[in-house]
Chains A and B, each alone.
Chain A
Amino acid sequence: MKKLARKIVIIGFVIFLLMQLYQPARNKDNGQVLSSHITKMHPLPDSVNVIFESSCYDCHSNNTKYPWYSYIQPARFIMERHIRNGKKDLNFSEFGNYSRRQQESKLKSISKQVKSGDMPLASYIFLHKNAKLTSRQKEAVIRWVDTTLKNYE
Chain B
Amino acid sequence: MKSIFFAALVMAFVFTACNSNTDKSKDTKTEKETTPTEQMYACSMHPEVTGKKGDKCSKCGMELSVPVDNTGTPIPPAGNNSDTTKPISTVTPSSFSIKGIISNYLKLKNALTKDDSKTAATAGEAIVANLATLDANSLPAAQKKAFTDVAGDAKEHSEHIGANSGKLDHQREHFAMLSKDVNDLIKTFGAGQKLYLDFCPMYDDGKGANWISETKEIKNPYYGSKMLTCGSVKKEL
Residues in chain A within 8 A of chain B (CB atoms): 5-6, 8-9, 11-13, 15-16, 19, 73-74, 77-78, 81, 89, 99-102, 105, 108-109, 112, 116, 118
Say yes or no: is B91 at the interface (Cβ < 8 Å to chain A).
no
Provide the bound-state CA to CA distance between A89 and B3, in Å. 42
Q: How far is the CB of A50 from chain B (nearest CB, A)?
A: 25
* Choice from B10, B11, B156, B170 contacting A102 with Cβ under 8 Å: B156
- Measured CB to CB, the nearest residue on chain A to B8 is A8
**Contact status A16-B14, CB under 8 Å:** yes
Which B residues touch A73, using CB under 8 A?
Answer: 17
**Contact status B152-A102, CB under 8 Å:** yes
Q: How far is the CB of A89 from chain B (nearest CB, A)?
A: 8
**Candidate in B4, B6, B17, B149 with the most chain A CB atoms within 10 angstroms:** B17
- The 4 A-B pairs with the shortest beta carbon distances in the complex, nearest first, are A74-B17, A12-B10, A8-B7, A77-B17
- Measured CB to CB, the nearest residue on chain A to B4 is A5
* Choice from B3, B153, B170, B174 contacting A5 with Cβ under 8 Å: B3
Say yes or no: is B219 at the interface (Cβ < 8 Å to chain A).
no
Which B residues touch A19, using CB under 8 A?
Answer: 14, 17
B4-37 to A contact mask, C-beta < 8 Å, 1/0: 1011101101101100110000000000000000
**Contact status B6-A9, CB under 8 Å:** yes
For the complex, count residues of B whose C-beta is within 8 A of A.
Answer: 26
* Choice from B8, B17, B170 contacting A78 with Cβ under 8 Å: B17
Q: How far is the CB of B76 from chain A (nearest CB, A)?
A: 30
Which A residues touch B169, using CB under 8 A?
Answer: 116
Say yes or no: is B177 at the interface (Cβ < 8 Å to chain A).
yes
Say yes or no: is B118 at the interface (Cβ < 8 Å to chain A).
no
**Contact status A99-B152, CB under 8 Å:** yes
Q: A5-B7, A8-B7, A99-B149 are in contact. Are A81 and B14 (CB under 8 A)?
A: no
Provide the bound-state CA to CA distance between A109 and B8, in Å. 40
Q: A9-B6, A12-B7, A12-B11 are in contact. Are A101 and B153 (CB under 8 A)?
A: yes
Say yes or no: is B157 at the interface (Cβ < 8 Å to chain A).
yes
* Choice from A81, A99, A100 contacting B20 with Cβ under 8 Å: A81
* Choice from A11, A78, A108 contacting B177 with Cβ under 8 Å: A108
**Contact status B21-A105, CB under 8 Å:** no
- Measured CB to CB, the nearest residue on chain B to A142 is B205
**Contact status A109-B173, CB under 8 Å:** yes
Say yes or no: is B45 at the interface (Cβ < 8 Å to chain A).
no
Which B residues touch A8, using CB under 8 A?
Answer: 3-4, 7-8, 11
Q: A101-B150, A105-B177, A116-B169 are in contact. Are A15 and B14 (CB under 8 A)?
A: yes
Provide the bound-state CA to CA distance between A89 and B156, in Å. 8
Q: How far is the CB of B3 from chain A (nearest CB, A)?
A: 5
* Choice from B1, B6, B20, B156 contacting A105 with Cβ under 8 Å: B156
- Other than A89-B156, A99-B152, give 9 A-B pairs with Cβ distance below 8 A: A8-B4, A9-B10, A15-B14, A16-B10, A16-B14, A74-B16, A108-B177, A109-B173, A118-B170
**Contact status A12-B21, CB under 8 Å:** no
Which B residues touch A81, using CB under 8 A?
Answer: 20-21
Provide the bound-state CA to CA distance between A22 and B189, in Å. 50
Which A residues touch B1, using CB under 8 A?
Answer: 5
16 pairs, A vs B, C-beta closer than 8 Å? A5-B4, A6-B3, A8-B4, A8-B7, A8-B8, A9-B10, A12-B11, A12-B14, A16-B10, A16-B14, A19-B17, A74-B14, A74-B17, A78-B17, A81-B20, A108-B177
